[in-house]
Amino acid sequence: MKRGDILLIGAIVVIALAFLVPRWFGDSSENNHNDENRVARITVDGKLYKTVQLTGEEQTVDIKTEYGYNILKVHDYGIEMIDADCPDKVCLTFGFIDRNGGTIVCLPHKLMVEVVATEGGDEVDAIL
């Protein structure tokens, strides 16, 4: 290995660390994404069924419609599907969602759960 090779490898390592270090230490604004200002909008067949405030307290939401039943669990400022009577159970694989725009979909029950901001979510971040 020559001197130029070592400099090139060192530059690549420094650039990689520049991207990885903020993830390890976490940006406080990224980790604290306005927990108190988010809700889960639950729609069935395209119509709003219920809006649930995402809190740190544990609670369950039972959804019973003509298409079937689903059980959602709210905890740690997010939501997840924990049970459903659909045949394929794909909706259970979406896991825990807690960021704006996160969705859980159950196609057989025509159900969609989406995390949205209650205020300030539609504002423009910057004007160029």
- Could you give the CA distance from residue 65 to residue 49 in angstroms, rounded to a whole number? 10
- Could you give the CA distance from residue 80 to residue 95 in angstroms, rounded to a whole number? 6
Comparison of pLDDT for 112 and 1, the residue scoring more: 112
The CATH code of the domain at 38-117 is: 2.60.320.10
> Can you count the helices (H) and strands (E) in the chain?
2, 7
> What backbone torsions phi and psi does residue 17 show, to the nearest 5 degrees?
-65, -35
Boundaries of every domain in the chain: 38-117
Read off the pLDDT of residues 16-44 as tens digits, 9 standing for 90 and up. Answer: 888 887 766 665 444 444 556 889 999 99
What pLDDT shows up at residue 123? 53
What amino acid is encoded at 28 in this protein?
A: S
Read off the pLDDT of residues 53-102 as tens digits, 9 standing for 90 and up. Answer: 998 899 999 999 999 999 999 999 999 999 999 999 999 999 999 888 89
